[in-house]
Amino acid sequence: MVLSGESSPLNDVLLTETTLITREQNAEDRLSQSIELNDKNRPIMVLILDNHVEQSNLMRHGLQYYDAGYTPKFATSLKEAREQIQNEPPDILISEISFPDGFVGELLAADPELAAFPIVVFTDRGSEKEAVNLLKAGVLDYVVKTRRKCQEIGDLIKKSLASWSKVKSARQAEINLQQTLRLASSIMNSLPTPIGVLDEHGMLLSVNDAWNSNELNHSFIGEACKPNCNYLAICRNTNYEIGETIATEIEMAIQNQTKSEPITYPIAPNAMIWFSSEIHPCTGSGRAKAIIVHQNVTERKMLEKGTCDKEIAVETINRLTNRERQVMELVVSGKPNKSIARTLNISVKTVEMHRSNLMKKLKLRSVTYLVRLAINAGINVEESHEKPFNAKVPDAS
């Protein structure tokens, strides 16, 4: 009888079934490579802890004729086993349960996740309760001895090493996953635009900090739309018709894996604050099926409508650094990048970087809007290039 423990379930956020299957296949490949490498460089060290002389002899004899590069060492007490482990940690420990000086559980790592080698209990006893307790404590497997199994101990070792390779692979995958999740969370929270992650049913899995800091009373972000709520239903059931449009685009992204076109709308009918929302599909990301991004485009809409007053325009441009402002003034005056680079004595790549940064800061899509913003701020776009180093945005007054 062989009783095996159940593996702890991994965090399924951003994991796919394909990933899990591939992980098992890769684990098998890595095991084969590891064994092959061990065959070439060093034998696989097997420590057998058993105080039954006849059974130990059967296992010793069985390993003599098992051509797998195993080097067995034998111990008859916990003290002897500890000394051998300290001198040369084994690749695997095959052990009985009880000894005059203690219990095999004393050799288990305090944290099973940090175990340096697997422990397989190979015992005369067949207690199911005992097996469950040991497996929970961190034992890799619990196998009841027979004379034949003692003689074929090499097969048990091979099977156990294969299982151990999968366990280590899964643990490393879990570590990598948590690191990836922390990185993804940090990246999301560093972005100023509200971002939400949705599952296949439109449930909100996670959001970034910008989503939670909803100071504009936006109907589709903030307190009313927290993780684990049905975001699709919230959009569908709102009295604002744009909600139905957003819901339809979410379904399209989830079902057809297609990115939506930007959906631009005031946050409420007749409101002066405008947002643009885009829904992006997530492929190969487990439960995550779509990402929705909301961006405040009020200033851009005001520029488009010609309703951006001087005070707002000046305040907007003041977000730029001095160098970005110099580049902006030369851009709106019609200067190409090469000319700007010569005027400011910087490289063309640096000019391109500043142009990209200032457009992002100002949340503008084209130079046309940049020119309108400069005009509204009172900048003379015909003359601004004459003194780029002294250019200043006029006061609002």
Q: Tell me: do 129 and 54 sit in the same domain.
A: yes
Q: Tell me: do 150 and 257 sit in the same domain.
A: no
Per-residue model confidence as pLDDT tens digits over 368-391: 878 888 887 888 776 544 444 344
Residues 1-15 have a mean pLDDT of 35
Q: Is residue 389 part of a domain?
A: no
Structure tokens at 332: 């709106």
Is residue 15 over pLDDT 50? no
Structure tokens at 352: 């391109």
**Count of domains forming the chain:** 3
Q: Is residue 384 part of a domain?
A: no
End-to-end CA distance of the chain: 89
Given phi > 0 = left and psi -120 to 50 = alpha, else beta, which region is 275? beta
What pLDDT is attached to residue 10?
Answer: 29
pTM check: above 0.75? no
Helix residue ranges, H only, the chain: 17-41, 53-64, 78-87, 128-137, 147-151, 153-190, 209-212, 231-237, 242-256, 298-305, 310-317, 322-332, 337-344, 348-362, 367-376
What pLDDT is attached to residue 176?
Answer: 86
What pLDDT is attached to residue 2?
Answer: 39
Q: Is residue 382 part of a domain?
A: no
Is residue 21 over pLDDT 90? no
Q: Tell me: do 22 and 125 sit in the same domain.
A: yes
The pLDDT-based confidence of 198 (bands split at 50, 70, 90) is very high
Q: Tell me: do 120 and 263 sit in the same domain.
A: no
What's the CA gap between 236 and 231, in Å, rounded? 9
Task: Specify the CATH number for the domain of residue 63.
Answer: 3.40.50.2300
Q: Is residue 72 part of a domain?
A: yes
Q: Are 78 and 32 in contact (CB under 8 A)?
A: no
Given phi > 0 = left and psi -120 to 50 = alpha, else beta, which region is 106? alpha
Query: Which amino acid is it at 26?
Result: N
Task: Specify the CATH number for the domain of residue 353.
Answer: 1.10.10.10
What pLDDT is attached to residue 164?
Answer: 92
The residue with greater pLDDT, 285 or 44, is 44
Q: Tell me: do 68 and 170 sit in the same domain.
A: yes
- Among the candidates 182, 202, 227, a domain finishes at 182
Q: Is residue 381 part of a domain?
A: no
Task: Specify the CATH number for the domain of residue 249.
Answer: 3.30.450.20
Name which of 67, 20, 35, 56 is nearest 161 in CA terms. 35
The pLDDT-based confidence of 309 (bands split at 50, 70, 90) is low
- Three-state DSSP class for residue 375: helix
What pLDDT is attached to residue 268?
Answer: 72
What's the CA gap between 73 and 84, in Å, rounded? 9
Residue in the structure block whose two tokens are 């690191």: 179
What pLDDT is attached to residue 4?
Answer: 37
Q: Is residue 383 part of a domain?
A: no
What pLDDT is attached to residue 369?
Answer: 78
- Averaging pLDDT over each range in 30-34, 211-215, 307-311, which range is the top one? 211-215
Per-residue model confidence as pLDDT tens digits over 151-170: 999 999 999 999 999 998 98
**Residue count of the chain:** 397
Q: Tell me: do 175 and 207 sit in the same domain.
A: no
Name which of 147, 238, 167 is nearest 5 in CA terms. 167
What pLDDT is attached to residue 270?
Answer: 65
Per-residue model confidence as pLDDT tens digits over 84-142: 999 999 999 999 998 999 999 999 988 888 889 999 999 988 788 888 999 999 999 99
- Among the candidates 124, 152, 182, a domain finishes at 182
- Among the candidates 296, 320, 346, a domain finishes at 296
Is residue 225 over pLDDT 80? yes
β-partners of residue 106 are none
Domain span including residue 366: 306-376
How many CB atoms lie under 10 A from the CB of residue 128?
Answer: 10
Is residue 215 over pLDDT 90? no
Per-residue model confidence as pLDDT tens digits over 168-191: 898 888 888 888 878 888 988 888
What's the CA gap between 120 and 68, in Å, rounded? 18
Mean pLDDT (the chain) is: 80
Q: Tell me: do 177 and 196 sit in the same domain.
A: no
Is residue 57 over pLDDT 80? yes
Q: Tell me: do 260 and 317 sit in the same domain.
A: no
Exposure of 249 by Cβ count < 10 A (0-12 exposed, 13-18 middle, 19+ buried)? buried
Exposure of 122 by Cβ count < 10 A (0-12 exposed, 13-18 middle, 19+ buried)? buried
Name which of 81, 127, 72 is nearest 100 in CA terms. 81
Cα-to-chain-centroid distance, residue 20: 15
Q: Are 384 and 374 in contact (CB under 8 A)?
A: yes
What pLDDT is attached to residue 305?
Answer: 65
Q: Tell me: do 38 and 18 sit in the same domain.
A: yes
Is residue 319 over pLDDT 60? yes
Given phi > 0 = left and psi -120 to 50 = alpha, else beta, which region is 153? alpha
Residue in the structure block whose two tokens are 């916990």: 78
Q: Tell me: do 123 and 237 sit in the same domain.
A: no
The pLDDT-based confidence of 303 (bands split at 50, 70, 90) is low
pLDDT exceeding 70 applies to what percent of the chain?
Answer: 81
Query: In what order do the strands lie in the sheet containing 263-266?
Result: 204-207, 195-198, 290-296, 274-281, 263-266
Q: Tell me: do 86 and 174 sit in the same domain.
A: yes
Q: Tell me: do 138 and 58 sit in the same domain.
A: yes
Q: Is residue 396 part of a domain?
A: no
What's the CA gap between 47 and 78, in Å, rounded? 12
What pLDDT is attached to residue 351?
Answer: 94
The residue with greater pLDDT, 27 or 128, is 128
Q: Is residue 397 part of a domain?
A: no
